[in-house]
Amino acid sequence: MAEKIKFTAEEQAFIDLALSTIEMDPKKRLSAVAKDVLDRKNYVFDAHSHIFDGQCVDADYMIIRLLKFDDNPILKRLLEFLIKRIIKEEKNFNENMNSADFVENVYLQKILKQHSFNKKDVDSFSSKITKEKDLGILMNVDWNNVVERIKDVIRILNSNKMEEVYNYFVKHAIQNNVPGKELISIQLGMDLESGWKGSIQKTYQEQTNELLALSQKQPILPFLPVHPERATKKLGDMNELYATFLRCFKKGSPNFYGIKCYPSLGYLPTARVLAPIFAVCEQANIPVITHCGGSMISTFADPVKTDFFGFEVNISEGDRKKNADALNEPHNWEAVLENFKQLRLSFGHFGGDEAWEKSKNTPAPRVSTILSYMHKYPNVYADFSFNFNDRKITKSFGNYFKSTDPNYAPFKTRSLFGTDFWVVVPQSDLEKDQKYFLKVTQGHHDNLLDKNVIAFLGLKD
């Protein structure tokens, strides 16, 4: 069924140039500090996290979406109410307020202005929560914790340095739950400048340089975000996408380790311009992680203009969420995998929490598609990041490890642990949720936190 790509002379020239100038040995793409941790063989991996700061994202938009203000009107109103209270309380302590609190304060004011709170809202809020079901939802929420998390996210968004966010990550990361182990992590960049409405203060190149520099100081494996839109811009005598790729993987200089795709930012993985990059990734053992979960972060374009190996495709499914879901579908990768069968590909979020809510007894379509690729292709993996904030679906995930059904065998050898820090912070008590994840996957930690990640990264001896 799959369309076989025939590269043009120009595309082939890029592939040849890449293969003769980039680092082909995965081990040599590791920074000295990452290599040290791996050599000591006493680590745990977080295979999916982010340390972008407030200047890498559109902070206003991010916090509103992260707090799920749009999804649940009851929670939205209550969160607004809480934020208002936080401000009010802090105002009373104005004199003792340090500068960080002050920034938070100003920040929260800004959010509230965008979601102004009037009498009508309060009335409809109180009439709505009289429903027993809603009261149940509200009573089960640990509100102190929610307030702390709101503050955490605001602190992160107020930072303008990835290193500060990284230090915060280390305080909450998985090694705290596995005594005696060192932390090593995959840090995924995001190109929100492409395909996203909003003001991003740090440019793509600035973010790329900062992440690369940090990877020389800390045990992290940085993944370069790619977006087809970059190929429409020039950098030197080449398009920005290819020029950046060549620079970031160049032999003899600090290297990115892998590639990050985020289809819901406005493209299919079959976008023609990505195919030469995947051809190089396959041959040079450069691993690719793709977002395959929720639709929170997505392009505003409608229709989404993309292509299937050069044949124009317009995606217009009815609304923004449906477009995002269509772009994130794992089956969009089948044609890529058919062309590049050895490609190292990990599906971030294993299909996503919505798919996992429907996977209690048998895998929902997204999960079973990923599972079928694990059977069919030698280097397909998936991480369970973000989803672990929900106990029910974490339990379902753990149950597949207990199954003796050969169809579910890849769970043991192809699953990776990841958090999706800090995107998950508003919804997760990281310490408790990571503990629970470890509990339901008891007996498989060696694989999830080490061996499977090493295999995905092409670092197996």
Within 8 A by CB and 6+ apart from 214, the residues are: 51, 162, 163, 166, 187, 220, 222
User: What is the contact mask toward Zn ion in residues 175 to 194, using x (rule: CB under 5 A)?
Assistant: --------------------
Q: Binding-site residue total for Zn ion (CB under 5 A)? A: 1
Q: Least Å distance between CB 57 and Zn ion?
A: 12
Which residue number, 225 or 276, has a Cβ lying nearer to Zn ion?
A: 225
* Site membership for Zn ion, residue 420 (CB under 5 A): yes
Which residue number, 45 or 242, has a Cβ lying nearer to Zn ion?
A: 45
Cα gap 196→297, rounded to integer Å? 8
Which residue number, 246 or 425, has a Cβ lying nearer to Zn ion?
A: 425
Q: What is the per-residue DSSP string for 28-44?
A: GGS-HHHHHHHHHT-EE
Q: Which of residues 195-214 bind Zn ion (CB under 5 A)?
A: none
φ and ψ of 456, to 5 deg? -60, -40
* Site membership for Zn ion, residue 383 (CB under 5 A): no
Gyration radius of the chain over CA positions: 22
Which residue number, 325 or 420, has a Cβ lying nearer to Zn ion?
A: 420
Q: Least Å distance between CB 190 and Zn ion?
A: 8
Residue with nearest beta carbon to Zn ion: 420
Q: Least Å distance between CB 186 and Zn ion?
A: 10
The span of 22-30, 80-88, 298-306, 414-422 binding Zn ion (CB under 5 A) equals 414-422
CB atoms near residue 307 (< 10 Å): 17
Length of the chain: 461
Q: Least Å distance between CB 402 and Zn ion?
A: 27
* Site membership for Zn ion, residue 353 (CB under 5 A): no
Within 8 A by CB and 6+ apart from 274, the residues are: 226, 228, 261, 267
Q: Least Å distance between CB 35 and Zn ion?
A: 25
Which residue number, 48 or 149, has a Cβ lying nearer to Zn ion?
A: 48
Which residue number, 309 or 421, has a Cβ lying nearer to Zn ion?
A: 421
Q: Least Å distance between CB 295 and Zn ion?
A: 13
Look at residue 100 and give its three-state secondary structure: helix
CB 49 within 8 A of CB 166: no
Cα gap 242→14, rounded to integer Å? 8
Q: Least Å distance between CB 223 and Zn ion?
A: 10
Helix residue ranges, H only, 161-274:
162-172, 204-215, 240-248
φ and ψ of 49, to 5 deg? -150, 165
Which residue number, 46 or 420, has a Cβ lying nearer to Zn ion?
A: 420
The span of 74-82, 84-92, 221-229, 416-424 binding Zn ion (CB under 5 A) equals 416-424
Give residues in contact with Zn ion (CB under 5 A).
Answer: 420
